[in-house]
Amino acid sequence: MTLNRILLIGGTGNLGTLILKHLLASPSNFTVSVLSRRSANTSHYPAAVKIVQVDDDYPPDQLTPAFSDTDVVISAISMMGMHHQPKFIDACVAAKVKRYIPTEFGLEDLPQWLLDLRPMFKTKHDVRDYLVSKESAGLSWTCVCCNVFFEMGIESGFFQFYWAQKRAVLLNDGELQWPATTLDTVAIAVVRVIEKEELTANKILLIQDFMTSQKEVLNEIEQRTGKWEVQKRELGPWLDEAKEKTRNGQNEELSKLTFAVAREAGDWAKREEYANALLDLPTKPFKKAIEQALEAH
């Protein structure tokens, strides 16, 4: 294996914390560094991890030296920091990094109406294009798409479960199934991408733990927490309303647009890019994942 020296950006995040855990647990004996914003708290990093600090706006002249002696840069940066990625990619090329794994970890298909209404997602498209343009400069890339983070989707209201009011909004009866992935599985997939470097170069890879639906998740929630108020909405008018409110500046509606796309992702297991087998990915069954996701309730 030639990809041994790994640098992680966003190592304090929801996903980054788990990527770091699985990098350190890997039998591949990676040398692991994290790129940390100077304002970030680094006290919880284990001693085995080298901390490389840069100013909070990731200045290019600090990135290239930070990426020296690195084979792989993983970006698990927050949505708020995604726009810094072209600078990360330029620094990878300058420092002769071999693989860049961008902040993706979500939808594979980003329809034009979503890009128009949620410009932050355009960054993901632009980064994919930019990475392709850098292949000839010696930088390979891998995008990991997991559709939705399962636990966060349940807890945050993304799947339309509003915990404070015990109210669920089911779209078209809530029966449609979509791919869902637990954070732990996403993190393991990132490590496997590096371990299987030749098979994963310059590819968009689709992964999942299972497919599920709003109805299936609601049944489990109600078994544990009692009856919920259920509102049934037709997708079309519900989505039109969310689009209109977004156009009028109501940003709290943005996640509905993303969920509308995520629930239409279809059966990834039938797609050529489906990579669970290629990555030899250990998946978590629905029952186990929901048990863990609902532990606190």
Ligand X SMILES: NC(=O)c1ccc[n+]([C@@H]2O[C@H](COP(=O)([O-])OP(=O)(O)OC[C@H]3O[C@@H](n4cnc5c(N)ncnc54)[C@H](OP(=O)(O)O)[C@@H]3O)[C@@H](O)[C@H]2O)c1
Residue ranges in 125-164 that form contacts with ligand X under rule CB under 6 A = 146, 148-149, 152-153
Nearer to ligand X, 118 or 243 (CB): 118
Q: What are phi and psi of 37, to 5 degrees?
A: -70, 140
Distances (CA, A) of 292 to 77, 183, 282, 285, 297: 25, 12, 16, 11, 10
Residues 172/234, Cβ–Cβ less than 8 Å: yes
CA distance 162 to 154: 9
Among residues 10, 157, 174, 179, the one that binds ligand X under rule CB under 6 A: 10
* Binding region for ligand X (CB under 6 A) out of 12-20, 62-70, 217-225, 266-274: 12-20
Burial class for 249, CB neighbours closer than 10 Å (0-12, 13-18, 19+): exposed
Q: Is 12 in the site for ligand X (CB under 6 A)?
A: yes
Residue ranges in 184-213 that form contacts with ligand X under rule CB under 6 A = none
CB of 1 to ligand X, least distance (A): 26
CB of 205 to ligand X, least distance (A): 14
Nearer to ligand X, 37 or 192 (CB): 37
* Binding region for ligand X (CB under 6 A) out of 8-16, 194-202, 213-221, 278-286: 8-16
Nearer to ligand X, 199 or 274 (CB): 274
Tokens representing 91 are: 């620094």
Q: Is 13 in the site for ligand X (CB under 6 A)?
A: yes
CB of 223 to ligand X, least distance (A): 24
Q: Is 62 in the site for ligand X (CB under 6 A)?
A: no
- As a whole number of Å, the end-to-end CA separation of the chain is 44
CA distance 199 to 280: 12
Helix/strand/coil percentages in the chain, nearest 5: 45, 20, 35
Between 72 and 111, how does the x/- string for binding to ligand X read (CB under 6 A)?
A: ----xxxxxxx--------------------x-xx-----
CB of 106 to ligand X, least distance (A): 4
CA distance 11 to 46: 12
Residue labelled with tokens 């410009």: 119
CA distance 170 to 178: 14
CA distance 13 to 20: 10
Q: Which of 83, 100, 103 is nearest to 140 (CA)?
A: 100
Q: Is 182 in the site for ligand X (CB under 6 A)?
A: no
Between 225 and 264, how does the x/- string for binding to ligand X read (CB under 6 A)?
A: ----------------------------------------
Tokens representing 202 are: 């310059």
CA distance 227 to 206: 35
Number of residues that bind ligand X (CB under 6 A): 25
Q: Is 289 in the site for ligand X (CB under 6 A)?
A: no
* Binding region for ligand X (CB under 6 A) out of 9-17, 201-209, 230-238, 243-251: 9-17
What residue ranges bind ligand X (CB under 6 A)? 10-16, 36-37, 40, 76-82, 103, 105-106, 146, 148-149, 152-153
